[in-house]
Amino acid sequence: MAGNTFGTLFKVMTFGESHGVAIGGVLDGCPAGINLDLEAIQSDLDRRKPGQSAIVTQRKEPDSVEFYSGIFEGKTTGTPIGFAIHNTNQKSHDYSHIKDSYRPSHADYVYDQKYGFRDYRGGGRSSARETASRVVAGAIAKQFLKDIKINAYVSQVGNLSLTTSYKDLDFSLIESNAVRCPDPEMALKMENYIKEIRKEGDTIGGIITCVVQNVPIGLGEPAFDKLHAELGKAMLSINAVKGFEYGSGFEGVKMKGSAHNDQFNPDGTTKTNHSGGVQGGISNGMDIYFNIAFKPVATVIQGYETIDKEGNMVATQGKGRHDPCVVPRAVPIVEAMTALVLADYTLLNRTIKL
Amino acid sequence: MAGNTFGTLFKVMTFGESHGVAIGGVLDGCPAGINLDLEAIQSDLDRRKPGQSAIVTQRKEPDSVEFYSGIFEGKTTGTPIGFAIHNTNQKSHDYSHIKDSYRPSHADYVYDQKYGFRDYRGGGRSSARETASRVVAGAIAKQFLKDIKINAYVSQVGNLSLTTSYKDLDFSLIESNAVRCPDPEMALKMENYIKEIRKEGDTIGGIITCVVQNVPIGLGEPAFDKLHAELGKAMLSINAVKGFEYGSGFEGVKMKGSAHNDQFNPDGTTKTNHSGGVQGGISNGMDIYFNIAFKPVATVIQGYETIDKEGNMVATQGKGRHDPCVVPRAVPIVEAMTALVLADYTLLNRTIKL
Amino acid sequence: MAGNTFGTLFKVMTFGESHGVAIGGVLDGCPAGINLDLEAIQSDLDRRKPGQSAIVTQRKEPDSVEFYSGIFEGKTTGTPIGFAIHNTNQKSHDYSHIKDSYRPSHADYVYDQKYGFRDYRGGGRSSARETASRVVAGAIAKQFLKDIKINAYVSQVGNLSLTTSYKDLDFSLIESNAVRCPDPEMALKMENYIKEIRKEGDTIGGIITCVVQNVPIGLGEPAFDKLHAELGKAMLSINAVKGFEYGSGFEGVKMKGSAHNDQFNPDGTTKTNHSGGVQGGISNGMDIYFNIAFKPVATVIQGYETIDKEGNMVATQGKGRHDPCVVPRAVPIVEAMTALVLADYTLLNRTIKL
Amino acid sequence: MAGNTFGTLFKVMTFGESHGVAIGGVLDGCPAGINLDLEAIQSDLDRRKPGQSAIVTQRKEPDSVEFYSGIFEGKTTGTPIGFAIHNTNQKSHDYSHIKDSYRPSHADYVYDQKYGFRDYRGGGRSSARETASRVVAGAIAKQFLKDIKINAYVSQVGNLSLTTSYKDLDFSLIESNAVRCPDPEMALKMENYIKEIRKEGDTIGGIITCVVQNVPIGLGEPAFDKLHAELGKAMLSINAVKGFEYGSGFEGVKMKGSAHNDQFNPDGTTKTNHSGGVQGGISNGMDIYFNIAFKPVATVIQGYETIDKEGNMVATQGKGRHDPCVVPRAVPIVEAMTALVLADYTLLNRTIKL
């Protein structure tokens, strides 16, 4: 329970630091007999990888995944799937600016306090590089889920907010631009804004919206393990996330019950969907949708003062090639975590009734 | 893993339906040797119980807890603490209006779909009554945590929002009014507004803010089990919750990294606290604060149309004594879940270093 | 993980000390829709209870179970089943002989060392009284398993060993005598021997054999959670158990592979069953059978010397009404734990294939 | 919970089939700050590897482990330790004799039934090759445990039984012979017997005894997770194990309580140790000792009849290079699993008292 496992039945354990030999994981509990499309897995990794466009970090890493077990003649065997992504971009950097001092709003300080020391080459285990392993596991979960459709997209960058309802968007446009916003006009504005921010040597936050469609009724548990609670945890476990809301979310607190209640149609669907597809912690068959808030990346290419291990103030400066805005690359991570949660509950739901 | 267990080391399993014989739970993993103040536990239950003021449901239930084990000569023994709260208010109601039809935005429909049938007397397992068991376990967790101070309060009801920073509030005023808002002027406005809403036979949502002080550095885990992710799950598992944000939250997405970063003081504290006391998933010793959004209660005392089991539209009406606004009674629940999360990580943290 | 939970999907958490208010538990994950026969549950409790015959402890306790939740209109609802058995036989005994001294081969000493103090009235949490809660949960598991037949019986007391293969025994005779040995002649010998032992103020060990029939193929997991490994743990978790063997067991080590291998019949059954119904950790459809060794009860009604808390030697003597031999009352406990293991794997097995 | 994870706090998840790309695992929860001796880890792997002597399989595999993460500047960092052992001996064998037919007392048949198909090249996931990953994790656990000494040795092969008490043995002689029996005379007899068995194309079973010394008082849990129950499960999860007994074991059932009870010395140690170092599921500071029964290896190099997938009887023959007796190579596996159990409880024990 040192926190590197996710899921109960469809369960992944990940390992790896940003500057170690490799990152990877083991996916246990994936049912036998799934025809795995390995290219689809690599494709999701490519959507996450650095260097893919002008608005993300220009670090080059192929992030190609090797599978070690659990797949035979193209199919999952029901046994654990071991995989690794070797780190290829770990040249002997100069780490002196971070080895003995603590970058603000990074985990450097708490790691030293918690563990007694840390792997100071980059973010170590707290690097977002860890999420590549999640993307691999999530891409397998997507293939298991099959008919359930998961689409995430960028809906806000700084103050630029896409207010169109997801129902009026064409999800096929998400991958048509570097920002991963399905509204091409807004996407262009966001892209230009991010470029501007980068020129300033600064960073900016954003929001990702995720929509899940064709969800069967009955996924989720009544008390602690409500479907949206597990989705919330999954999203909040992604680096830089500061908030999660589903359905009517924070705006819903201003509504009266008479307006908020989702009235039924005769077939059990509802006329509105303020509930966001989850009722009492259990999916009701309507679309599940939620928003995830990402803070601005902590590494800014500007000079600043910070403290060293002895508590002395030292002047330093961000270095290296960093993302000016994290949300474009985080879209496949959000999808992956969503898929992992739904895969777990899909298996669990098989055990509920006599 | 049918979702009725919370925590890994400091772990509670709850049971009970709103109209069964009793609700209760087992708390396992509570360390030996804690001098338990049983009155403090009952006092937290009283803060949650129905009928406590004019703005909550007028149902009368004493909610008195009996302990069955795990306590000897006033101290915890390190063995599981079994407890129960007998349901005393389960008269033979007329359930005909809900037995065969589904209340909108309640879990009736999904329960029937998931389990094949349900305990139709009230909300069954999805009733907020289940949270009384959490309050018992959480009140014990508070006593274990000792120096860590947890204060939750109502910061918004409908559009009435308390914008004062928590640092400028006097937490000793929280219990001075029925709303549990530490600003007496705003509390009065909220109280009047809730009374108005009740007269309309309607309900309204709200926000609870929770502040945790004197947190040691090092609670939390780097990857999936980040401290704020577990807090988020804990909050989202409370009935009617639609969103969670901590630190800068959803507003933080509009900030630039240079402004959002929390610069260090020489002693390792930070000048600002946009991070909300958690860095890379691990507590950094600064105050932890977060907001939780509650939707309006689904039961409205107004006529409406809904469907029966056969999918026919039927006219019906909310009955009984319900809360016009859930947040005043949810304050101790938020505190309890916060305490449970922190107790679990406190134990876990003992296992980290050689 | 303080060790009071058993099972992953079909999961029970128990609580209670021998001299507290009540013992009990919560059973979570039991599927919805099972018509519960409550009398069958009480009947298994009666098979375990003290005072049932002349060869067990003469303590009188009705051990009647109350159910608090999870059952509605006679059926399981899929929500947690809370239950308790109130302790009725906890008069204000004189505990001075055990309060400050440690009984040999009891857990008194390790409890004080581990927890700092203990509930010294009887065995506290280490009392076999805790197993009554297991019998309740196991009796529900039996009803869930339905077609799988579990029969346990006493096959050895001291040197008196029943060497007949289980296939040549009539299980309907198990309950025909106080020892629970299906061979009436041997049962009588055992009964007389136990009476003799009791007269000496001494105790004696024994072996229980358990046979599981009509097991579907496929229960169990390949690596750590092999079916027989979980059965072994379940049995070894019962008080006084010192050993577990299944199939050919300890005798099998003397066999050659050519003789030990179970040759197939055309229908997939095997001609012999040295494997004991489990192959590679997974049930193969043949009968599962295993032996469990129980040590002699530690409480002997004879004078002895032991140490007090300060390490002084003190003369003392066993008091109270104790079992001269634990196996007759342990038969339903063995069955209960077997049922819990099989119920868990039955649920788990539903999640294995696409 | 597909059974590939062991441990709660000190937790390993393994992956890999005998004929896949690699086997390996992730060890999570290992505390930070341990100076790892990598050679000691490889050395334990070498004690398990094929081809090490004349009485084990002559297959050649270097079994060299690569570490991917969790170690920095020679120390554990507290983050997960990912590792892999690449399979080097997977030439394109002829599998026709096992692809479509089922070897007796192997897992072939149950795998096909459970998963719908299987990796038919060798034993797949049920191959004992999986235990190499356990040896890696266990070797790290040993280094964490430091002062606790674990010594396993072969005490029986077929009918050749070493009856000397472990106290009269010199553990430094265990590695002095190929059998790993600390009595050189008996070792020679066993070695010759195994050679004879191999000449016959047959196999033979055996017993391993394991002794744990310098155990602190207090490891273990009272109810389900008794220390010896978890040790039993750990041992029974090793391939070919049929039985487990600790302390007085199966022989203890014949003893009377007055003789079996371990009387105290003034310092809390006991005069005898029939309890085997565990009282009420908790270590009492005395030596822990237990026996593990291994069946004869199922692969015999003799002709036999078996069934194919259609249930036809087919004549076939064991091929390849197999172990005539599994116990010499299983010694480090027993030690590894013992170390994993003790490491887990050592961490857990830190959370017990205030």
Write a three-state SS string for A217-276. Answer: CCCCCCCCCCHHHHHHHHHHCCCCEEEEEECCHHHHHHCEHHHHCCCECCCCCECCCCCC
Q: Quick check: helix, strand or coil at residue A7? A: coil
Judged by a CB distance cut-off of 8 A, whether residue D35 touches chain B is no
Compute φ and ψ for D145, nearest 5 degrees. -70, -30
Scan residues 205-244 of A and list those with Cβ closer than 8 Å to D. Answer: none
Residue A233 near residue B232 (C-beta atoms within 8 A): yes
A240 among annotated binding-site residues: yes
Most B CBs within 10 Å, among C9, C12, C13, to test the B interface: C13
A115 chain-B contacts, CB cut-off 8 A:
352-353
Taking the C-alpha atoms of residue D171 and residue D162, their distance in angstroms, rounded to an integer, is: 14
Query: Which tokens belong to B169?
Result: 């509030």
Facing B248 at nearest CB: one of A242, A270, A279: A242
Mean pLDDT of B202-218: 97
Contact C118 B70 (CB under 8 A): no
Residue C321: its pLDDT value, please? 73
| Model ipTM over 0.90 | yes
Q: How far is CA A123 from CA A19, B79, B252, in A?
A: 8, 40, 22
A-facing residues of B in 276-315 (CB < 8 A) are 276, 279-284, 291, 293-300, 302, 304-307, 311-313
Rounded Cα gap, residues A50 and C9, in angstroms: 40
Contact criterion met (CB < 8 Å) for A119 and D5? no
Tens digit of each residue's pLDDT (9 = 90 or more) over A73-85 = 999 999 999 999 9
Question: How far is it, in rounded angstroms, from Cα A132 to Cα D7?
Answer: 26
Q: Which residues of A41-73 are buried (b: 16+ CB within 10 A; e: fewer)?
A: bbebbebbbbeeeebbbeeebebebebbbbbbe
Contacts of D306 in chain C (CB under 8 A): 263-264
State the nearest Cα–Cα gap between C201 and chain A, in angstroms: 48
Residue A299 marked ligand-binding: yes
Q: What confidence category does residue C91 fall into, taking pLDDT thresholds of 50, 70 and 90? A: low
Residue among C5, C23, C79 whose CB faces B69 most closely: C23
Q: How far apart are the first and last CA of chain D?
A: 32
Q: Answer for the pair D297, D281: CB distance below 8 angstroms, yes or no.
A: no
Q: Decide if pLDDT at C97 tops 80.
A: no
How confident is residue B92, by pLDDT bands cut at 50, 70 and 90? Answer: low
Q: Chain C: nearest CA to D170, how far in angstroms?
A: 24
Residue C354 lies in a domain: no
Angle value at C-alpha C177, between C173 and C181, nearest 5 degrees: 60
Compute the radius of gyration of chain B from its Cα atoms: 21
CB of B181 closer than 8 Å to CB of B160 = no
Are D33 and A115 inside 8 Å of each other by CB? yes
Chain C contact present for B22, CB below 8 A = yes
Model confidence pLDDT, tens digit, residues C169-197: 999 999 999 999 999 999 999 999 999 99
With CA atoms as reference, report the closest residue to B25 among B163, B143, B141, B181: B141
φ and ψ at residue A155, rounded to 5 degrees: -115, -10
D157 contacts D293 by C-beta, under 8 angstroms:
no
| Mean pLDDT, range A269-290, rounded to an integer | 97
Residue A109 sits in a domain whose CATH number is: 3.60.150.10
D354 inside domain: no
Residues 6+ apart with CB under 8 A from A65: A24, A41, A42, A45, A83, A84, A85, A136
pLDDT higher than threshold 80 for residue B299:
yes
d(CA D260, CA D240): 31
A297 is in an annotated binding site: yes
Confidence of residue D287 (pLDDT cuts 50, 70, 90): very high
- pTM over 0.90? The answer is yes
Model pLDDT, residue B126: 87
D299-344: pLDDT as tens digits: 888 788 899 989 999 988 777 678 999 999 999 999 999 999 999 9
Residue among B139, B210, B178 at smallest CA distance from B325: B178
Residue C139 has pLDDT above 50, yes or no: yes
Chains with 3 or more CB pairs under 8 A to chain D: A, B, C
Q: Is A122 on the interface with D (CB under 8 A)?
A: no
Choose the closest CB to D82 out of A15, A79, A119.
A15
B298 pLDDT above the threshold of 80: yes
Q: What is the mean pLDDT of residues D15-24?
A: 94
Residue of C nearest to A145 (CA): C354
- The beta-carbon neighbor of B68 closest among C2, C5, C21 is C21
Give me the residue label for tokens 């449970």. Answer: B340
DSSP helix/strand/coil, D115: helix
Find residue B83's DSSP bridge partners: B25, B67
Among B347, B348, B353, select the one facing D32 at the smallest CB separation: B353
pLDDT score at D292? 98
The beta-carbon neighbor of A351 closest among C9, C222, C353 is C9
How far is C-alpha C53 from the geometric centre of its chain's CA atoms? 19
Flag whether B178 is in a domain.
yes
Task: Give the containing element (helix H, strand E) for B198.
Answer: helix B184-199
Q: Give the residue ranges of the annotated binding site of D.
A: 48, 125-127, 239-240, 280, 295-299, 321
Q: Does C182 count as an annotated binding residue? A: no
The answer to whether B31 contacts D353, with C-beta atoms less than 8 Å apart, is yes
Looking at residue B1, its pLDDT comes to 47
Could you say which DSSP state residue B270 is in?
A: B
A255-259, A270-274, A302-306, D130-134: which range is least confident on average? A302-306
Per-residue pLDDT reduced to its tens digit, B171-186: 999 999 999 999 999 9
Q: Determine the 3-state secondary structure of C294 from DSSP.
A: strand
Query: Is C295 one of the annotated binding-site residues?
Result: yes
Question: What is the C-alpha to C-alpha distance for residues A198 and A140, in angstroms, rounded to an integer?
Answer: 34
Kindly report, residue by residue over B3-24, the tens digit of the pLDDT. 899 999 999 999 999 889 999 9
Chain C residue with the nearest C-alpha to that of B29: C2
Provide the residue type at D131 as one letter: T
pLDDT surpassing 80 at residue A149? yes
- pLDDT grade for D123, boundaries at 50, 70 and 90: confident
- C299 is an annotated ligand-binding site residue: yes
For residue D142, the enclosing domain spans 5-349
Mean predicted lDDT score pLDDT of chain D = 94
D9/A1 Cβ within 8 A: yes
Dihedral of the alpha carbons of C225, C228, C231, C233, in degrees to the nearest 10: -60
CB contact under 8 A, C114 and D218: yes
Expressed in angstroms, the distance from the first to the final Cα of chain A is 32
What average pLDDT does this structure show over C3-8?
A: 95
Residue B65 to chain A, least CA–CA distance (Å): 20
Q: C34 and chain B: CB distance < 8 Å anywhere? A: no
pLDDT band at A1 (very low <50, low <70, confident <90, very high): very low
Using CA atoms, how far apart are residues B257 and A106, in angstroms rounded to an integer? 12
Contacts of D354 in chain B (CB under 8 A): 31-34, 144
C21 and B72 in contact by Cβ < 8 A?
no
Q: What is the DSSP letter of D19?
A: T
User: Does position D198 have pLDDT exceeding 60, yes or no?
Assistant: yes
- B79–D contact, CB cutoff 8 A: yes
- pLDDT of residue A321 exceeding 90: no
Nearest-CB residue to C353 (from A29, A32, A222): A32
Taking only the tens place, the pLDDT of each residue in D33-85 is 999 999 999 999 999 998 899 888 888 888 999 999 999 999 999 999 999 99
Domain count, chain A: 1
Tokens for B157, please give them.
């009801």
Number of C/D CB contacts below 8 angstroms equals 374
Judge: B104–A262 Cβ closer than 8 Å, yes or no.
Answer: yes
Rounded Cα gap, residues D18 and B263, in angstroms: 53
Q: Which residues of D are annotated as a binding site for NADP(+)?
A: 48
Residue among B31, B33, B222 whose CB faces D351 most closely? B31
Q: Is B80 annotated as a binding residue?
A: no
Write the residue in B8, B79, B350 that is nearest to D350 by C-beta.
B350
pLDDT confidence of residue D90: 63
> CA-to-CA distance for C38 and A30, rounded, in angstroms?
37
* pLDDT (0 to 100) of residue C1: 47
Query: Considering only CA atoms, which of B7, B144, B14, B30 is closest in space to residue B85?
Result: B14
B354 within some domain: no
Query: Which residues in chain B have their CB less than 8 angstroms from residue A264's CB?
Result: 102, 104, 109, 306-307
- In terms of DSSP bridges, do strands D22-28 and D11-15 run parallel, antiparallel, or are they unpaired? antiparallel
Which residue, among A161, A242, A263, A325, would best test binding to B if mutated, counting the most B CBs under 10 Å from its CB?
Answer: A242
Q: Which residue in chain A is spatially nearest to C8 when comparing CA positions?
A: A8
Q: Does C20 touch chain B (CB under 8 A)?
A: yes
**Which backbone phi and psi does C125 adopt, to 5 degrees?**
-70, -20
